[in-house]
Amino acid sequence: MKNYTSDLPHLPIWGSFKPDGSAWKLKERLFLGLPFSEYLKTVTASWLNRVLAAILVVGFYFLAERYIFGLSRITHGSNDYPWGLFLGFGLFAMVPLSASGFLLGTTVVIFGRKDFHSIERLALLNGLLGYFFAVVYLEVDLGMPWRLAYPMFVSFGPAAVLFLVAWHVATYLSVQIAELLPALFIWLDRKSWVKYITRISLGLTIAGIILSTLHQGALGALFTYAPTKIHPLWLSIDFQWIHFFCSAIFAGLSMVIVSSTLINHFMPWRCGKQFTADLDRITLGLAKGSSYAMFTYLVIKLVAVAHDNEWELLLTGWGGYYLLEIAIGVVLPMVMFARSIRTGRVRTARTAAFITVFGIVWNRLNTAIVCFNYQMYQDIPHWKEIWVTLTIYAIYFITYRFIVYRLPIVFDWEDTQEKA
């Protein structure tokens, strides 16, 4: 795409109308204003797309195997480790990294911080896609994926934490779709529909906070069902839901920094003037929020160790691993965030955000897999399981990019003729 934007000044599509005054057709909008053959060329020319295609082809074969012959074809099918990467990464890590939607929604809509407006839509999109693909991962992992809606319509276990997660993720998905509909409406030249969403945006945002608080916490609370299986340092019965909720805050914020950094770096042609101009300032703002949340998180982690009286466990091998996770995943990026705010060096904040995202994934994998059955053997996921996890992530990446290329996520849509 980069090559084209330099040759064809009317591209990419910034608004409803071409320079000559005629409207972009839907087909043209879908193919980024290029003839289909040209569009196809840009798609196949990229080495990244070729890598993605290779991952997908093999991945889809494994997925077919999984659906026809059962999970044991691509996983170890362990009765000791019922949850593997699909949930450990796909659900428990994707969901906190997608907390961005409700966080920026709260910042902009509830607290009236309009200075974060230019990144709000990206945060919402990041949230929506993260949740959607968490459900996709779930659909790979569930034994009977066709019964996904059973807890909603067929049989109810309302005392179960997972019941709450199911209901909240489903409700929150629809809330996030509603929050993002304006971008789609504008892209489809249906601006008049946007006001219906705007009217309920406060309600949607508050619903988002409630649902997020509860299901981010609930993902942590799910592990309180296994008090004897997870290493006590990673499981604090009383604080688990707060740990998960609090870490979701800096996870979501950091993920927006990561995502906006990548978009700004790899598709500058797509970024609107406002977005580019605001990005450094916003990144530092997000870094600030992130470092506060991290500090809070560290305090609660410490409180949990004190409350459960696990000091001597810190001196064991597991304790060393625990401290390493906290040092690399939380303390290091927190200090970097703080430094970046003081020195104004945005690069530091961006690096810190990447480390934070890694730290969150690490923490969730530790809780769900590494420190699960800590008194038993370690289960290293089957390579096909890793491949399929990568496959779903590749689809997530492609969808994400597809939408950012087209919908007014990081730019403002021009719907008047003269400015286009």
Tokens matching residue 226: 């296994």
376 counts as binding another protein under rule CB under 8 A: yes
DSSP type of residue 230? B
Q: Which is nearer to another protein, 105 or 333 (CB)?
A: 105
Tokens matching residue 154: 């067929």
**Which residues 6+ apart lie within 8 Å of 298 measured at CB?**
326, 330, 331, 334
Q: Interacting stretch for another protein, rule CB under 8 A, among 8-16, 37-45, 209-217, 300-308? A: 209-217
| Amino acid sitting at position 235 | L
CB of 99 to another protein, least distance (A): 15
CB of 68 to another protein, least distance (A): 5
Residue window 27-66: x/- pattern of binding to another protein, with contact defined by CB under 8 A: ---------------------------------------x
The residues in 164-203 that bind another protein, with binding defined as CB under 8 A, are: 164-168, 171, 195, 198-203
82 counts as binding another protein under rule CB under 8 A: yes
110 by Cβ neighbours in 10 Å (0-12 / 13-18 / 19+) ranks as middle
CB of 224 to another protein, least distance (A): 5
Among 35, 70, 320, 344, binds another protein (CB under 8 A): 70
| Cα separation, 322 vs 172, whole angstroms | 32
Residue 319 Cα distances to 122, 224, 229, 238, 239, angstroms? 38, 20, 16, 20, 18
Are 152 and 169 in contact by the 8 Å Cβ rule? The answer is no
Q: How many residues bind another protein (CB under 8 A)?
A: 78
CB of 22 to another protein, least distance (A): 30
The residues in 308-367 that bind another protein, with binding defined as CB under 8 A, are: none
Tokens matching residue 127: 């949230």
Q: Is 372 helix (H, G, I), strand (E, B) or coil?
A: strand
Among 8, 35, 80, 380, binds another protein (CB under 8 A): 80
Q: Interacting stretch for another protein, rule CB under 8 A, among 216-224, 246-254, 270-278, 317-325? A: 216-224
Task: Look at phi and psi of residue 344 and say left if phi exceeds 0, alpha if psi is from -120 to 50, else beta.
Answer: left
| Cα separation, 243 vs 292, whole angstroms | 14
| Residue matched to tokens 């597991």 | 318
CB of 415 to another protein, least distance (A): 16
Q: Which is nearer to another protein, 300 or 355 (CB)?
A: 300
Q: Interacting stretch for another protein, rule CB under 8 A, among 4-12, 210-218, 279-287, 402-410? A: 210-218
Q: Which is nearer to another protein, 156 or 402 (CB)?
A: 156
The residues in 112-171 that bind another protein, with binding defined as CB under 8 A, are: 112-114, 141-145, 147-148, 150-151, 153-168, 171
Residue window 391-420: x/- pattern of binding to another protein, with contact defined by CB under 8 A: ------------------------------
Among 22, 40, 46, 67, binds another protein (CB under 8 A): 67
Among 16, 176, 240, 389, binds another protein (CB under 8 A): 240
- In 3D space, the residue among 48, 140, 51, 60 whose CA is nearest the CA of residue 94 turns out to be 140
Q: Interacting stretch for another protein, rule CB under 8 A, among 119-127, 206-214, 319-327, 356-364? A: 206-214
Q: Which is nearer to another protein, 47 or 377 (CB)?
A: 377
- In 3D space, the residue among 340, 364, 243 whose CA is nearest the CA of residue 296 turns out to be 243
- In 3D space, the residue among 79, 127, 129 whose CA is nearest the CA of residue 103 turns out to be 127
| Cα separation, 414 vs 367, whole angstroms | 47
Q: Which is nearer to another protein, 66 or 401 (CB)?
A: 66
CB of 138 to another protein, least distance (A): 8
CB of 74 to another protein, least distance (A): 10
The residues in 252-311 that bind another protein, with binding defined as CB under 8 A, are: none
Q: Which is nearer to another protein, 75 or 389 (CB)?
A: 75
- In 3D space, the residue among 101, 102, 404 whose CA is nearest the CA of residue 275 turns out to be 404
| Cα separation, 293 vs 371, whole angstroms | 24
- In 3D space, the residue among 362, 91, 99, 135 whose CA is nearest the CA of residue 245 turns out to be 99
Among 18, 29, 229, 281, binds another protein (CB under 8 A): 229
Among 177, 206, 303, 390, binds another protein (CB under 8 A): 206
Neighbour-count burial for 192-208, b at 16+ CB within 10 Å, e otherwise: eeeeeeeeeeeebbbbb
